[in-house]
Amino acid sequence: MISKQALRKKMLTSGLKKKCGPKRHTKRPVLCKRKGSAFSAVSNADQPINQFVQVQFNQEVFDLNNEYNPATSIFTAKRSGVYVFFASIGYQPATDVAGTVSIAILANERILVDSEAIRLDGTIVSVTGIVQLRAGDRVVVFAAVFGGSGVIEPFATRFEGSRVQ
């Protein structure tokens, strides 16, 4: 059984890295916060879609660990771990033909999670997933329209992620 004092110390130091370096006036290690991994990016331009294409999220909202590249719309994990991702697109069809709109989050050209919607009018399609990544894994978002064509509009088009463990 763990003592109250040990439990309190564990709670206070969870998420902290030990032995960051000694304080100048003591030999005790200083507790340092680990650098978090989280980003958010949005689109700021219409993107035509009529097949499986990489969605461009060219406006970075924030990136805590410099892992997201808005020029390529690729997230590259610096550390192995469990991540949660969210992606959405605002879709407007070009014709009155109902089509299937699909969105997928891929890592290293492998589909991690996907979602689809059958729509005649405009819609927002989103996908969320918790995945395990290795350091160096590259994560992107692709979208497709089957049975039609249209435009990905920036109003609801975003890509976000965070390491949770």
pTM comes to 0.77
Q: Where exactly are the structural domains of the chain?
A: 1-34, 35-163
Closest-CA residue to 140 (of 99, 112, 102): 112
**Strand pairing report for 74-76 and 81-93:** unpaired
User: Distance between CA atoms of 55 and 43, rounded to whole angstroms?
Assistant: 9
CB 55 within 8 A of CB 145: no
pLDDT in tens, 79-109: 999 999 999 999 988 877 767 889 999 999 9
CATH topology for the 35-163 domain: Jelly Rolls (2.60.120)
